[in-house]
Structure 1
Amino acid sequence: MNLAVAPPETPEKDRGRQIYDLGHTTVFASKQDPRFSYCLYVPPTLGQDDAPELVVAMHGTGRAFMEYRDAFAEFGRWNNCIILCPLFPVGVLGDGNRDGFKYMAEAGIRYDEVLLSIVGEVRERYGLLEDRFALFGFSGGGHFTHRFLMLHPQRLWAAAIGAPGSVTLLDPTRDWWVGIRDVKERFGRTIDIDAMRRVPVQMIVGAADLETWEITHREGGKNWMPGANDAGRTRPERLDSLRRSFEAEGIQVRFDLVPNVPHDGMRVVEHVQNFFAGVLRNRRLNEKN
């Protein structure tokens, strides 16, 4: 396995690295676009063990990116993973839009490319040679995760899609975001179904996540388009439609409907960690064999 080797540091720089770059880190601005930022959990054993894997946890509409970092910290420590939590703020264009990142593009911003640039920064800073990562997102982050998977499956070793309010189905008869007919024109990419089949996928939602006030699209709304509500009324119904859309294309899905859980991302984190841990175990066994 590849080793992550930290460069030599002076005592002063080493102290700063220990405080700000390892463990629960400070918040960094993206070098490519400082409107966006991120924080990390970095195992204190960095450089002493085999190279860590990278896990990205994408926030939802509430932007609780540091809470997700903290929730995954122990997982990162004991599974030798760096945890990366981006922040895509509300109203990047000054218009108060909360939803731009969920649909991957907002005016001239491509949020998938913003994330990839941040991942590149983290790989360079910590000497990571593996360019694939795991991606988890809940609610608005679940929007982002399944659409990122469609556009960049070759960059993921696992994807955990949590309770998105709206879903993009693998439907070639409808335009983005309801379907994928015009993905090539919008994003300059085609959907690689074969690559998607190679990514372990979890879909997870609370069985009590039944409120619809935030997810029902109405004509005239900024994200309205024909078919916007066709995948179902509630989040579990919509996620199940996404599952069926994936499975119709031969993409295997672990579907977790968590009893007695409402719309609360922190209450599904343990299930996501169990999923990622299983995928990691298989990856590492395969690398040894």
Structure 2
Amino acid sequence: MTAERPLAPWDLPAGHPGVAFLTGATPFFALAPDPRFSYCLYVPTDHTPDGPPLPLVVTVHGTRRRAETLRDAFAGFAERLGCVVLSPLFPAGITGPNDVDSYKLLSPAGFRPDEVLLHMVDEVAARWHVRTDRFHLHGFSGGGQFAHRFAYLHPGRLASLSVGAPGRVTLLDPTAHWWRGTADMAEQFGTDADPAALRGLPVQLVIGEQDTDAGELAPDGDGTAPAGSHRIDRINALRANWREHGIDTRLDIVPGTGHRHVEVLPVVQEFLEAHVSASPRPRAPEVTRP
């Protein structure tokens, strides 16, 4: 039996109602290899198969899983810059009835969230005219945890990285085990940490000035807080750790707000705009002529 090919917007005749579901704000699509996971997109309404492929921006939700709301917050950004926005959904309860954190920690117990995202990116490339060899990644809170850990595993897939207010951070530390450090990355994931691969990557760390409520943080389990007692301490610890390894970061502390994603998004989008606009296009293959 032949697998059904995903339809692109230009496969449908002008005026077909299906075009409206494949451009603008899309429905959620189940991930074909594992329908426990899904994703939605914002695709510019004038999207065509002509010209260079559009840049891809991936926005990862926090613990409350408001993927659609996050996607919608990037709609104007996508139309203005001519990029596609992908918002994955990692449901709670995947590894057990009380699981809310496995996607953040890239836990290899049961599934690999990083590989789930890469499958989503492949599916997007099969339907839309999008550049997917490198993409821009942003996450806030739980999504910020996911984003910086994904960067450790797949630095070569990123065009820029925006890490917002992670509640727990993984430091480049060969003496501490995952998720606090990177001592057993090869054992857990089949790859070692490579700080050199992150040097030169545009990186934003972003947090609200008043994001200091330690009561909002999940307990670490062993009572330790190696990177500080609240999110500002922890994002500063991550920045200092990366600086020690030659990784430059831009730190944006947004005045007058606490742990509020919507209130830091203007600064996030300002950072992403500079790098989405400057995204290099893949080179056309050289043609050898006699």
- Please, what TM-score do these two structures have when normalized by structure 2? 0.89
Read off the aligned partner of 1:35 and give its amino acid letter.
Answer: R
Instruction: Tell me which residue corresponds to 1:187.
Output: 189
Work out whether residues 216 and 233 of structure 1, in 8 Å CA contact, stay in contact via their aligned partners in 2: no
Find 2:276's aligned residue among 259, 277, 280. Answer: 280
| CA apart distance, 1:108 | 1.8
Alpha-carbon RMSD across the aligned residues, in angstroms, is: 2.2
SS at match of 1:268: helix
Residue 279 of structure 2 aligns to a residue whose secondary structure is helix
Give the CA deviation at 1:45: 1.7
Give matches, 1:148-227, under 5 Å: 148-215=150-217, 217=219, 223-225=220-222
Instruction: Normalising by structure 1, report the TM-score.
Output: 0.90
Q: Give the share of equivalent positions with the same residue, in percent.
A: 42
Please say which of residues 202-211 and 128-137 is displaced more in the overlay: 128-137
CA contact (8 A) 1:160 1:202 kept: yes
CA distance in 1, matches of 2:216, 2:86: 27
- CA separation of 1:119 and 1:249: change in aligned 2, threshold 3 A: same
Instruction: Report the AA paired with residue 236 of structure 1.
Output: I
SS class of match (1:98): coil
Q: Give the aligned residue type for 2:44.
A: P
Match of 2:26 in 1: 25
**C-alpha distance in 2, partners of 1:248/1:95?**
39
User: Is the contact between residue 9 and residue 19 of structure 2 (CA under 8 Å) also seen in structure 1?
Assistant: no
Task: Give the Cα–Cα distance (whole angstroms) in 2 for the partners of residues 125 and 138 of structure 1.
Answer: 27
Partners of 1:186 and 1:40 in 2: how far apart? 31
Counterpart CA distance in 2 for 1:285 and 1:39 is 24
Deviation at 1:50, TM superposition (A): 3.6
1:233 aligned partner: 229
Matches within 5 A, 1:114-125: 114-125=116-127
Q: Structure 1 residue 141: deviation in Å? A: 0.3
Equivalent position of 1:3 in the other structure: none
Please state whether the residue corresponding to 2:149 is helix, strand or coil: helix
Q: Check conservation: 2:108, 2:189, Cα contact below 8 A.
A: no
Alignment deviations for residues 210-267 of structure 1 (CA, whole Å, 9 cap, x no partner): 11113252xxxxx5257x4110111011000000011111101000111111111111
Distance 1:286 1:84, change over 3 A: closer
Contact 2:137 2:161 in 1 (8 A): yes
The code of the aligned residue for 1:234 comes to: H
Number of the residue aligned with 1:266 = 262
| Residue 283 (structure 1) shift | 3.1
Number of residue equivalences: 277
Gaps of 5+ in 2: 1-7, 284-290
Quote the residue 1:146 is aligned against.
148
Q: Any gaps of 5 or more consecutive residues in structure 1? A: 1-5, 218-222
Structure 1 residues 277 and 109, CA, compared in 2 at 3 Å: closer, same or farther? same
After superposition, the C-alpha distances for 1:159-201 in whole angstroms (9 at most, x for unaligned) are: 1000000100111111111110000000001112121113110
Hey, what does 2:244 align to over in structure 1?
248
Task: Give the secondary structure class of the aligned counterpart of 1:205.
Answer: strand
Q: Deviations over 1:112-148 (max 9, x none)?
A: 0000000110011113344111110000001100100
Q: Is the 8 A contact 2:106 2:113 kept in 1?
A: yes
